[in-house]
Every structure is written in C-alpha cells, then in structure tokens.
Amino acid sequence: MNKLSLSVPLGLLCVSAFSAQATTYVSAKAMLDVNNGKLINAPLIQIDDGIITKISSGTMPTLQQGDDHIKLPELTILPGLMDMHVHLTSDPTVPRSERIGQSVPRKAIKAAYFAEKTLKAGFTTLRNVGAEGYSVIAVRDGINAGDIIGPRIWAAGPSLGVTGGHCDNNRLPPEMKYTAEGVADGPWAVRAKVRENIKYGANVIKFCATGGVFSKGTKVGIQQYSLEEMTAIVDEAHMRGLTVAAHAHGTSGITAAIKAGVDSVEHVSFVDDEAIKLAKKHGTWFSMDIYNTEYTLTFGEQNGVAEENLAKERQVSKKQRDSFSRAVKAGVNMVFGTDAAIYPHGDNAKQFSRMVEFGMTPLQAIQAATINSAKLLKVDTQLGQLKTGFAADIIAVKGNPLQDITLLENVAFVMKAGVAYK
C-alpha cells in the first residue's frame, strides 16, 4: 500500500499515512480520554491520511474497498506515549571506555535500533537531548523519509557545555587535546554554537547548567554556565523558534536556568522551595528521571560504571525523588523524561510506577507523557490526545491503566500516524 508524507507547521514532524483512497478504523473495548480520565466504551476511531477524522462509540464501520478495520476487542486504547529525555546513541550495557571508541556512524546505527525498540514499547514521540556528530538528527530524518522505523524525534545536536564540564569529554589525557563538539564558553561563543546546531538540523537545544552523575571530574550539583551565558543560549534558540532544555541537578543551576527562560529543566535533583516557586511562576517544565537510579545501582558496576559515578548516583537517588514529590505537590508543570540510555531503551514505561509511588496519580503520570509533553513541544493541537484532527498515534493495553499503571510496561498494540507497528 502506498504511503505519503504529510508536513505540519515548523516542519518538525512528518507522518506516514495510508493513501487517500483508504480509510483505517480502530475499534477497542475502551478508550482513555487523557484530558479528563474518563473511559469511553466501545470506541471507533476513523483515520484518514494518518489523522483522526472521527471518533464515535458503539458503532461499526461501513467498509469500502481498500479500507481496514483493526479490532482490539479486549484492549484499552490511549494516545501514543512521549518521552522527553532520551539518548538513543548510548547503550548502558556497553562500558563508557568502549563507547569512546565508537564512530559516529556506529552510534547512528545504535540509535536507529533503539528508536524502533522504543516505538514498539509504545513511545511514538521522543526528545533526544544530545548526541555526537548529529547522529540522531540523521536517524530522525531517516524515519521521516520512511527509510527506517521509529518514533517522531525532536533532536538536539551536541549538548552545549563549558570547558571541562558535564557536556565535555574529560576521560581522555591532556595530550590528546580533545574537546567535545558542544563546548562553548562565553555569551557569543554559545550563540555561535546554537546557530551551528540549528544549521545542521537540530530542532531543540540542550545545555548543561550543572555538573552531572556520569561525567568525570564534575560535582553533580555545582553550577557551570553563568546566567549571562544561559540567557544567550535561550535567547538565540527562542529567536529561531526552538525550545531549550537545561541539564541541572543543583538549585543554583536550576534557578539560573529558569531565570534565563529555558522551556524545561532536566533531572532537578536538588531543588529548594524558592526554585519550585520560580518554576511555577515562569511556567517552566520539570523533566525528572526517577526510575533509572535503580538500574544504575543494581547493574552499574557490572556494566563498567566507575565508582566515582556510582557514588554520585547514590548522592542523587533519594534527593531527586524527594524533589519530585515536592514539585508534584506544589503543582509544577511536569513532563515524562526518563534519561533512557542510563537504563535499557524500551523500558521507558517502568518510570510510570515510580511517578505514582512518589506523588502523582496514575492520570497525572499519563498526562505527563501525553498532553504535557505535547505542550512542551508546542504541538498540543496535533499530538498527545485521541481527538479529531490529531495524529493517529494510538497504543493499547489489556486493562485500565488508571487502575494499574504498570500495564503500560506491556503495550499490546502500537500505531503511529495511522500505521500499525505492533
């Protein structure tokens, strides 16, 4: 069956859809309205050119020649899930010392493999916040062109960072004089780096405001970029229509990033009440990866993670979960972000249960991965809900995820833009 490409505003997403001559129908036991948490019995969704054109209940379609009716009589359908913090080029089972020797083409192949794996786990949209050599941008473009299978991807180029900071590579000896691609110091240098990333296809910008867990020689909560530098990054990106994500563990870096105008803060491990209030005031989104600590502390040593990094993970673990609980209670804007690559790709949905355990209702956790993430990406009129005029991104599980959030870890059906992949 022929497929066509449909462009949407900003050219940020392409959808593959069935030809205009054919209509696809999806029926199921129930449909979750993620906006209000209501279950709709016996839904029937009509899809034309990858877009939902009609939703009804308790009806059956009248099929024309070429039409397709996908029947899911025992399943509950809901919108495709969205993960706002992944690194598709990285494999946690491969020691970092070995990853240093991998070429950019090798990383791109890894990213393509993990992209398909993540799609089949129910995540139809991803935000890849940093990768070497514009590798994930190539994967994104290959997906959009129909060359390979994967989710929609918003892709940053190399993450911006200070010399010797979290987004630099500090694992090589000084005589090699190696500096990571995203390193830039000073307001005009960071502007130039943003422009460079955009030149080569980035549709989101990521920078490191503080040290990090998995870098060498950085203190996890210490601010790195100055407020002046952060403001320059955000101003340059926003002027070009891109959103900005800031890696920030410590309160000082979190506060500076919010004041600079970032769209989202990543990790948010050590945050005080004033920074939480500031985030609410500015409408800043928090993306908090509160599952992966369990994988790191269980399997990190056998995967070759250095003791320095394990020690920092122990430092972050409980503090980050406490911060998550306080942020949720305060009503901060929250999206679903896992830092996939710290744990195996495809296990993204394991975070839902931790979000519920540490303060969210099941509906809030699902909204973080649907409606809220779509708002962060500024595509909430196209993605994040099962609604007329929205992309036909649909997943299905056996049961009601509001009663058992772990059902999302075992998705039985995946459709992106009207095409079923599982």
CATH of the domain at 67: 2.30.40.10
Can you tell me the distance from the alpha carbon of 421 to that of 31, in angstroms, rounded to the nearest whole number? 19
More confident: 422 or 300: 422
Looking at the structure, tell me whether residues 33 and 157 fall in a common domain.
no
How many domains are contained in the chain? 2
Are 215 and 249 contained in the same domain?
A: yes
In this structure, are 117 and 139 located in the same domain? yes
271 and 197 both lie in a single domain:
yes
Q: What is the pLDDT of residues 359-408, one digit of tens each?
A: 999 999 999 999 999 999 999 999 999 999 999 999 999 999 999 999 99
- Predicted confidence at residue 63, as pLDDT, reads 94
User: Are 327 and 192 in a shared domain?
Assistant: yes
pTM over 0.75: yes
Whether pLDDT at 215 is above 70? no
Do 140 and 53 have their domain in common?
no
pLDDT > 90 fraction of the chain, expressed in percent and rounded:
76
d(CA 127, CA 82): 8
CATH number for the domain spanning 178: value is 3.20.20.140
Q: So what's the pLDDT on residue 318? A: 83
The predicted-structure confidence for 252-299, as pLDDT tens digits, reads as follows 999 999 999 999 999 999 999 999 999 999 999 999 999 988 887 777
**pLDDT over 70 percentage in the chain:** 90
Of residues 316 and 394, more confidence is placed in 394
Predicted confidence at residue 290, as pLDDT, reads 94
Burial (Cβ within 10 Å: 0-12, 13-18, ≥19) of residue 366: buried
Range of the domain at 39: 3-80+385-420
Tell me: do 68 and 160 sit in the same domain: no
**Is residue 323 predicted with pLDDT exceeding 80?**
yes
pLDDT of residue 1: 35
Does 106 share its domain with 72? no
* CB burial of residue 265 (10 Å; 0-12, 13-18, 19+): buried
| Residue 45 shares a structural domain with residue 128 | no
Average pLDDT over residues 29-37: 97
Does the pLDDT of residue 179 top 80, yes or no?
no
Under the banding of pLDDT at 50, 70 and 90, the label for residue 12 is very low
The pLDDT of residue 216: 63
Query: Which of 5-14, 33-42, 215-224, 344-353 has the weakest average pLDDT?
Result: 5-14
pLDDT of 6 > 90? The answer is: no
pLDDT at 8: 41
The confidence score (pLDDT) of residue 14 equals: 46
Same domain for 259 and 209?
yes
Tell whether 289 and 351 lie within a shared domain.
yes
* Average pLDDT over all residues of the chain: 90
| pLDDT for res 188 | 97
pLDDT-based confidence at residue 13 (cuts at 50, 70, 90): very low
Res 333: pLDDT: 98
Higher pLDDT: 316 or 364? It is 364
Query: 92-109: per-residue pLDDT in tens?
Result: 888 776 777 789 999 999
Is residue 159 domain-shared with residue 86, that is, in the same domain?
yes
Could you tell me the pLDDT band of residue 178, with boundaries at 50, 70 and 90?
low
In this structure, which amino acid lies at residue 113? Y
Confidence of residue 172 (pLDDT cuts 50, 70, 90): low
129-140: pLDDT as tens digits: 999 889 999 999
